[in-house]
Chains A and B, each alone.
Chain A
Amino acid sequence: MSAVRAGDVALESPGASPARPQEAERSLQRLWRVKWGLAAALLLLLIVVGTLAAPLIAPYSPVEVDIRHRLGPPAWMEGGKTDHWLGTDQIGRDLLSRMIYGGRVSLLIGVAAVLVSSTIGVLLGLAAGYFGSRTDWIIMTVINVMLTFPFVLLALSVIAVLGPSLVNMVIVLGVAGWPLYARVIRAETMAIRERDFITAGRALGMSHVRIIFRQILPNLISVIVVIATLQVASVIILESFLSFLGLGVQPPTPAWGNMLGEGRVYMLNSWWIAAFPGAAIFVTTLAINLMGNSLRDWLDPHMKL
């Protein structure tokens, strides 16, 4: 920005440019515009660090049973004890500790599944967009079939056959999620393919593989990052739903979804068992979505997602 302007003589060294404070102000303004995203990112960081440091900060072990204090209400309610801030569940396990531990599985599955689906989706999207014609037709048909299927139903039926386990959950949620990436990446690739620098690369004798990975892919990183961020949230919701039905993470491993599913049985008298884990899912996915939206506005306001 401190370069010579038209009709201007550069008398000052660039370092002492009077434009400096203005620039600082502008970048502050830019930061202020993404304030919600920053706040969300901070909250998310807190959640991630909290679940990672679970053994250090959780007051109890997540599987420690205290049958005398079962169905204990949260501390601020009548009959609640400060030993258990958020109360206890049906067999007297500390709800707060279980919630802190429960985030581990959800976040792990969310991130792992997104890695799987983004890898498949980006590769197929690049292939469809770059090669076009028959490759494109086949991949698009598969995408259409997959998008027609309700994600939930597909995941449910595959898990039912495979059996619920951590690895199976990641595979199913990962494989079910790729069409979204593929569709966006395909469209973007088709647009970039027509640009001059690609033709130039071909004329210089670059191979297709080199063009795809060294010239096209770097241009798509911001799109991929934004979709992947937002996808983590939907994978977490889907994982929780499967666990809620008892088809996901199996007890006694605490996960927000299966805690919610177990708490549902006791909601007549002990609403907190179902309410808090669900709130944890909500806050986490909200933070991820806010961060993803800000990331999109910050990286490329014109991105159509």
Chain B
Amino acid sequence: MKGYALRQLLQLAVVIVGISMLAFAILHVIGDPVLLLLPQNAGKEEYERYHKLLGLDKPIYVQYWKFASRAVQGDFGTSWYTNTPAFKLVLERMPPTLYLTTAGLVMALLISLPLGILAALKRHSFVDSLCTMGAVAGQAMPIFWLGIMLIIIFAVRLRLLPASGYGTWQHFLMPAFTLGAFLAPITMRLVRSGVIEVMNMEYIKTARAKGMAEWRVVIKHAFRNACIPVITVLGLQFGQLLGGAIVTETVFAWPGVATLTVDSIRNQDFPVVQCAVVLLALIIVAINFVVDMIVGFVDPRIRVGG
């Protein structure tokens, strides 16, 4: 277990360095910060002065080192737009994003667990085909459109729920459902195939032979064992989930990191964009690490093979 943890930690460190390089490259290699910062009619001398002021005349590795060593201390520079530290701005917007992600995850499980188990138990039946079709349709659904259709139906037509914003539990319903619908199809398929696989195992036959009630067999034996692959993939899908949260936030004007990032991109406020990108990626990496650890702990085959 120790060796496995060390290996994963080493990989974690490499990935974090990679992420910081990517975030750095987005602004400094692909674009020119001076051009983005100065007005378009600025002269050549102005350009040179700013170039030097931002330290862009130094070699690229020196610039990266400066960026990275500051970032480690939580200093991503000051927002060009509001003149407050970028780190503080992003951190303030983090809780709504995390709440939304959690709510979306819960919603996805509420949809996919019962349907997945049902589809697996009634394999090749009408219910099963219906669930599979639903999953295929769900995967093709652009969730920003789904969100807008929900707003049109439930907020504009029926006037049941608030169209956008943040605060009460009613505000959570539509965004959570939208995000849940994004994750539910793949989760449902995993649960279905997991339960199908487990139901053929010897210990299920044993449990049945003992005269255990069928629902108890399913809940106590089948479902528990089908959970391992589901947890693994869900953990690894966390990046996708955050990606979905970004889309959902922009549709419902949710005051999270994603809306901040999109607004900052529109304002060309790159320190904030960089900071948001790095922090979101760090969260994903951390969650992946924890999932790897849990799975390695639960299933010895993985930590040896890894």
Chain A positions near chain B (C-beta within 8 angstroms): 141-142, 144-145, 147-154, 156-158, 160-162, 233, 237, 240-241, 244-247, 260, 264, 267-268, 271, 274-275, 278-279, 281-282, 285-286, 288-290, 293
- The answer to whether A150 touches B144 (Cβ under 8 A) is no
Q: A145-B19, A237-B142 are in contact. Are A278 and B149 (CB under 8 A)?
A: yes
- The answer to whether B142 touches A240 (Cβ under 8 A) is yes
Q: A150-B246, A162-B30 are in contact. Are A157 and B265 (CB under 8 A)?
A: yes
Chain B residues within 8 Å of chain A by Cβ, number = 45
Minimum CB–CB distance for A183 against chain B, Å: 12
- The answer to whether A285 touches B15 (Cβ under 8 A) is no
Minimum CB–CB distance for B136 against chain A, Å: 6
Q: A145-B15, A150-B239, A286-B140 are in contact. Are A260 and B145 (CB under 8 A)?
A: yes
In the assembled complex, the Cα of A107 lies from the Cα of B171 at a distance in Å of: 35
| A162 (CB) vs chain B CBs: closest residue | B30
- The answer to whether B156 touches A268 (Cβ under 8 A) is yes
- The answer to whether A153 touches B140 (Cβ under 8 A) is no
Residues in chain A near residue B242, CB distance under 8 A? 150, 153
Residues in chain B near residue A145, CB distance under 8 A? 15, 18-19, 22
| B267 (CB) vs chain A CBs: closest residue | A160
Minimum CB–CB distance for A241 against chain B, Å: 6
Near A by CB (< 8 A), chain B positions 275-296 give 276-277, 280-281, 284-285, 288
- The answer to whether A275 touches B152 (Cβ under 8 A) is yes
Residues in chain A near residue B246, CB distance under 8 A? 150, 152-153, 156
Total number of A-B contacts with CB less than 8 angstroms?
124
B27: interface (CB < 8 Å): yes
| Contact sample, A vs B, 27 pairs, CB 8 Å cutoff | A141-B11, A141-B18, A144-B11, A144-B14, A144-B18, A145-B15, A145-B18, A148-B285, A149-B22, A149-B284, A150-B242, A151-B240, A151-B243, A153-B246, A153-B261, A154-B22, A156-B262, A157-B273, A161-B26, A161-B30, A241-B142, A271-B156, A281-B142, A282-B140, A282-B141, A282-B142, A285-B142
Contact among A141, A151, A285 with B140 in the assembled complex (CB-CB below 8 Å) = A285
- The answer to whether A267 touches B15 (Cβ under 8 A) is no
Contact among A148, A274, A282, A289 with B239 in the assembled complex (CB-CB below 8 Å) = A148
Contact with A along B155-194 (1 / 0, CB 8 A): 0100000000000000000000000000000000000000
In the assembled complex, the Cα of A293 lies from the Cα of B133 at a distance in Å of: 12
- The answer to whether A286 touches B137 (Cβ under 8 A) is yes
Residues in chain B near residue A147, CB distance under 8 A? 239
Residues in chain B near residue A268, CB distance under 8 A? 156
Known: A153-B280, A285-B142. 16 other contacts (CB 8 A): A144-B18, A148-B19, A148-B239, A149-B19, A150-B281, A152-B247, A154-B277, A157-B277, A158-B26, A162-B31, A247-B265, A267-B156, A282-B140, A286-B140, A289-B140, A293-B136
B268: interface (CB < 8 Å): yes
Contact among B149, B152, B281 with A149 in the assembled complex (CB-CB below 8 Å) = B281
Residues in chain B near residue A267, CB distance under 8 A? 148, 151-152, 156
- The answer to whether B268 touches A160 (Cβ under 8 A) is yes
